[in-house]
């Protein structure tokens, strides 16, 4: 659990009051909506789904008319059409949607999805050759194709034609095609452009139909899954589609979705956007990550429930395998970070392993970002070649960073917060240095814990659950609200779930709140009974025997009395010192007083072992936030001189003394002393 900077969102109370009164929604829901930019009654009607249904005219998309005209000609002439998709949930749902629609229109249609492991992303010459031999006359890409400049030329050489539908950012050059339907084209004038690939495919179907009707509405469930899976912002038309699609998934007439709901254990539960995000989407993605995405398409197209259930169970088994593979790689990556203590001071983490499964390295990167609070790239090697996936934090543009390191890479691509890389295995160390050299020249952000609403513990009740429900559906652009419970005293800590999770009881003004913190063992929790903390929590409904109660899920905890501005400033200065920097910080603020070092040593010796962070150590010693750097330097100096040591789990211990030690000879104190002398001259 990385230390995050807590930020409380600000809403417009006056506007929220007006919205609540005029629309009859919860005042709390209106205020939280205000923190997300909803400040007029008209905006609120759209946000809460109380206004007229609005949708963008599909013919406003660039090249949509040309795409419709060419597809209609292919239908009239019974030309063979190939839908060329992608192996993730967005690509799978896009493929299933367009294929099923064209098949319903009587088309001679096939689909093709490349294998993630053997073919990679997007159009390939081998696949194009295969489709040509199959007699395909028209290729329609979904969720890919915008960057296939050379492949598009090859399609033309083979006397086939191409329609691109995509939602990724184009370069300055568009593929040579009959039509390139992408809302991110420079000549696109749409107000809203953040559709998933399946959203663009859906608008193509709407254009072919000539209007939105019962036929197009029947695909809303597929659009919902792809949109949620690809983490598209749930605003504007995306929000309206997902709002309609979630109930369709709960009561689907698709055998494949029924089977997925069953194997995911959602059949007897209320399905919401969270159920889709964490129950349905990972299983569809698992098919492409661990094997072939083709089975996921067959599942969504199946009309036989028994057949669908068999496929769904296979995919569910692969999802379990994916989770285990992910955990295995995560453990290896964490062990690698522990084995290189200096990495903890780097701004960007780069870890690598031989033949790590390339289908899960991106997920592992996300887990490491959450744990360490740093942009992270996880690389898998296969002999001389390596490839990896990276995730970032808000404020650090990962794609821009990779652009500055391209001399170390064979190829790369991606976005601000997520990217992929290819490189030679021998260049991994050089790449680690290059990306951290770039990061050292930027103002690195801190990971942020957003708080939507400061909540009085007395208000944690079922009425607040109704507030949360009014804000559905949740996802990117409209996350599930996180409430802040401030100045809470920990009164009890109990392991649950065979010790894998914790139940932590928080109390203030006589109100006791039992909260669950998942995936943390008691030995990793730096807090004890009596600590006064701030808690970031989710509120969820828990129905048992017909009675609805509030479940409080702990997302984050921090000490209440630490001044964050002072804390993060001191943490930054210490990190710069440990990275060998000589400027950009005040060395005098890091030089520990002798009394501080003695206090730290005596505390750790008396405790027997200290396995927690420096911030909590400052708290136990009754020191201030700005003392973080001095305490950290004291610990480092004592480690360097053997006064303290690390045990097998990286915990701090005080070994038996073996003679007198001159702490001033510790390298960290020598560096500090030299810096202070230099600044004095």
What's the pLDDT at 269?
86
Cβ burial of 241 (10 Å; 0-12, 13-18, 19+) is: buried
What's the pLDDT at 289?
86
| C-alpha 329: how far from chain center | 18
The C-alpha atoms of residue 250 and residue 271 are separated, in whole angstroms, by 6
What's the pLDDT at 351?
98
Helix (H) or strand (E) holding 577: helix 564-578
Using omega within 30 degrees of 0 as the cis cutoff, is the peptide bond preceding 473 cis?
yes
Torsion of CA 12, 13, 16, 17, to 10 degrees: -150
In the predicted model, residues of the chain with pLDDT beneath 50 are none
Classify each residue of 585-623 as buried b or exposed e, where b means 16 or more C-beta atoms within 10 Å of its C-beta: bebeebbbeeebbebbbeebbeeeebebbbbbbbbbeeb
What's the pLDDT at 592?
97
> What's the pTM value of the predicted model, to 2 decimals?
0.90
Torsion of CA 203, 205, 210, 213, to 10 degrees: -90
What's the pLDDT at 506?
98
Q: Name the 3-class secondary structure at 532.
A: strand
The C-alpha atoms of residue 195 and residue 210 are separated, in whole angstroms, by 20
Asked whether 181 and 163 are in contact (CB, 8 A), the reply is: yes
Own/partner pairs, 519-527, CB within 8 angstroms, 24+ separation:
520/1, 521/495, 522/493, 522/495, 523/611, 524/1, 524/611, 525/493, 526/612, 526/613, 526/615, 526/616, 527/490, 527/493, 527/557, 527/559, 527/616
What's the pLDDT at 150?
95
What angle is formed at CA 674 by the lines to CA 671 and CA 675, rounded to 5 degrees? 85
Integer CA distances (angstroms), 609 to 81, 253, 521, in order: 67, 59, 17
What's the pLDDT at 680?
67
């Amino acid at each position: 659990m990385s230390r995050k900077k807590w930020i409380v969102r600000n809403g417009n109370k006056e506007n929220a009051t007006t919205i609540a009164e005029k629309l009859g929604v919860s005042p709390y829901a209106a205020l939280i909506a205000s923190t997300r930019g909803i400040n007029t009654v008209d905006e609120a009607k759209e946000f809460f789904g109380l206004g007229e249904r609005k949708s963008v005219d599909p013919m406003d998309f660039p090249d949509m008319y040309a795409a419709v005209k060419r597809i209609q000609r292919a239908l009239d002439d019974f030309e063979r059409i190939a839908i060329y998709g992608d192996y993730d949930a967005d690509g799978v749902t896009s493929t299933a949607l367009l294929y099923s629609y064209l098949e319903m229109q009587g088309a001679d249609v096939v689909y093709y999805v490349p294998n993630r492991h053997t073919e990679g992303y997007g159009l390939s010459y081998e696949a194009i050759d295969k489709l040509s031999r199959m007699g395909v006359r028209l290729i329609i890409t979904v969720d890919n194709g915008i960057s296939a400049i050379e492949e598009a030329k090859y399609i033309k050489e083979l006397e086939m034609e191409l329609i691109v539908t995509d939602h990724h950012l184009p370069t300055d050059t568009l593929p040579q095609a009959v039509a390139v339907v992408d809302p991110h084209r420079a000549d696109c004038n749409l107000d809203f452009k953040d559709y998933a690939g399946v959203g663009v495919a859906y608008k193509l179907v709407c254009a072919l139909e000539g209007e939105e009707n019962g036929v197009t509405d029947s695909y809303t469930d597929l659009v919902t899954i792809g949109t949620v899976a690809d983490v598209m912002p749930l605003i504007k038309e995306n929000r309206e589609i997902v709002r309609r699609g979630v109930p369709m998934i709960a009561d689907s007439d698709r055998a494949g979705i029924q089977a997925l709901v069953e194997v995911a254990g959602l059949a007897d539960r209320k399905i919401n956007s969270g159920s889709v995000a964490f129950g349905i989407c990972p299983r569809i993605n698992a098919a492409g990550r661990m094997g072939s995405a083709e089975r996921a398409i067959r599942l969504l197209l199946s009309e036989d429930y028994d057949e669908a259930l068999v496929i769904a169970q296979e995919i569910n088994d692969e999802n379990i395998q994916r989770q285990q593979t992910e955990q295995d790689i995560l453990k290896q990556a964490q062990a690698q970070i522990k084995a290189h203590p200096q990495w903890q001071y780097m701004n960007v983490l780069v870890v690598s392993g031989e033949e790590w499964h390339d289908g899960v390295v991106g997920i592992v990167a996300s887990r490491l970002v959450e744990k360490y609070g740093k942009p992270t790239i996880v690389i898998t090697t296969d002999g001389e070649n390596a490839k990896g996936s990276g995730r970032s934090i808000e404020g650090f543009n990962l794609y821009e960073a990779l652009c500055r390191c391209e001399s170390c890479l064979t190829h790369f691509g991606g976005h601000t917060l997520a990217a992929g890389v290819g490189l030679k295995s021998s260049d991994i160390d050089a790449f680690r240095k290059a990306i951290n050299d770039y990061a050292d020249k930027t103002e690195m952000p801190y990971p942020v814990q957003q708080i939507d609403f400061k909540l009085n513990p007395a208000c944690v009740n079922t009425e607040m659950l109704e507030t949360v429900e009014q804000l559905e559906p949740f996802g990117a652009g409209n996350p599930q609200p996180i409430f802040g419970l401030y100045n809470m005293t920990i009164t009890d800590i109990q392991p649950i779930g065979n010790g894998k999770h914790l139940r932590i009881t928080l109390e203030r003004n006589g109100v006791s709140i039992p909260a669950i913190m998942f995936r943390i063992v008691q030995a990793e929790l730096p807090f004890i009974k009596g600590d006064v903390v701030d808690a970031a929590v989710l509120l969820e409904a828990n129905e048992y025997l017909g009675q609805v109660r509030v479940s409080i899920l702990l997302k984050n905890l921090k000490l209440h009395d630490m001044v964050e501005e002072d804390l993060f400033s001191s943490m930054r200065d210490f990190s710069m010192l440990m990275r060998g920097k000589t400027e950009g910080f005040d060395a005098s603020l890091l030089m520990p007083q002798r009394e501080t070092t003695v206090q730290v040593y005596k505390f750790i010796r008396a405790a027997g072992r200290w396995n927690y962070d420096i911030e909590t150590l400052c708290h136990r010693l009754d020191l201030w936030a700005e003392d973080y750097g001095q305490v950290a330097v004291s610990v480092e100096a004592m480690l360097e001189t053997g006064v303290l040591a690390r045990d097998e789990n990286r915990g701090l211990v005080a070994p038996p003394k073996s003679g007198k030690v001159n702490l001033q000879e510790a390298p960290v104190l020598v560096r500090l002393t030299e810096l202070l002398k230099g600044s004095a001259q």
